[in-house]
Amino acid sequence: MFGFLRRSHAAAVSSLSVPALLLLLASPAYAGGEIEQQVRQPAQEAVPILGMPSADLPPVGEVDEIAALGEPISLEKIWAADFHPETDRWTERNNRVKITLFGSALFFGQNLRIYHDAGVGLRVSWEVPGFIGIRLDSVIVPFSHMVVRNIGKTSTNDSNRSMRGFVDCTSLSIAIFNPELSAAPNLVMWAGFGVDLWEYHYDQFLPNAGGTSRRYQYVDWNLGGNLFFNMEYKIVDTFHIGFELREHVVYAPQTERGRFYKIDNVVGGVGLHTSGAAHSRNQNIPIPLSAVEEFQLHVAVVF
């Protein structure tokens, strides 16, 4: 009896399968090969997660750390855990060395008695990943002039002239990256502060009122500090251009005296800072400070 049922079911299935197979073969999808193409087509790529391909997601371990906090995983949290676009596009998570060549215009405080002039300089910066840079730079004014008085004139009948020499400033400073002001593409801004060492070397024979030449000389140094603001534009990753503003404050106790240079190698005072005859200019300054403003245009190569 059960054999009869099996044979009858098999006959019924076969009678239904033949017409179904004929209909399938005759269908347009099969005739065009679409079914075969779909079978042979490779599996589609995984659906992007959080709107980005899976290959661009941070490592699984970092996502797990965020999930372990019990907070919903969002794209902002993933980026925050692994990437800071405003800083990483400059530091690239590596220590980088930047060599900068610059030209400067320097404006000296009047009590230093140095004429405003132009200088050239070189800066070496070490930029660590994140927000900090360490800078060592030096600027020199190679053809500087200092105001001196004709020795044959009195304080009521001045006859000023200038002696040639040079002045340079070496600075060690800390730069802090400013991400808010660097949001524009290829733009970067730094600001910071540092300490200065100013060195003066002036020496020249000048004729005096009597017609004979006298030797005027000033060789000295001062300490000071500076504040700066630096902006750069990235032409390519390794080549930047920009400008910088620096405000120097110089501790210059020699300016409390009228003439702080030597004449004929004669020192009127005692100690490192030389002095001459008293003069109404630059005397009785409450705090012996002087300001120097500096404006730079620079080009930089980043390694």
**Which residues have CB under 8 Å from 234's CB, separation 6+?**
90, 186, 187, 188, 240
Q: Is residue 274 part of a domain?
A: yes
Q: 174: which strand partners?
A: 134, 193
Its domain, for residue 45, covers: 30-83
Tell which residue, 139, 145, 83, has the closest CA to residue 113: 145
Q: Is residue 149 part of a domain?
A: yes
Q: Is residue 89 part of a domain?
A: no
> Which of the 8 DSSP states describes residue 52?
B
Low-confidence ranges of the chain (pLDDT < 50): 1-10, 12-13, 16-18, 20-24, 29-32, 39, 42-58, 60, 63, 78-80, 91, 268-280
d(CA 240, CA 19): 77
Q: How many distinct structural domains can be found in the chain?
A: 2
Asked whether residue 102 falls in the same domain as residue 79, the answer is no
Residue 62: predicted pLDDT: 52
Asked whether residue 43 falls in the same domain as residue 129, the answer is no
85-103 per-position pLDDT tens digit: 555 555 455 688 999 999 9
Q: pTM (2 decimals)? A: 0.67
Asked whether residue 66 falls in the same domain as residue 125, the answer is no
Residue 261: predicted pLDDT: 85
Residue 287: predicted pLDDT: 78
Instruction: Retrieve residue 298's tokens.
Output: 């620079």
Asked whether residue 259 falls in the same domain as residue 286, the answer is yes
Instruction: Retrieve residue 106's tokens.
Output: 């320097």
| End-to-end Cα separation, the chain, in angstroms | 91
Residue 282: predicted pLDDT: 53
- DSSP percent split of the chain into helix, strand, coil, nearest 5: 25, 45, 30
Q: Is residue 1 part of a domain?
A: no
Q: Is residue 15 part of a domain?
A: no
Q: Is residue 25 part of a domain?
A: no
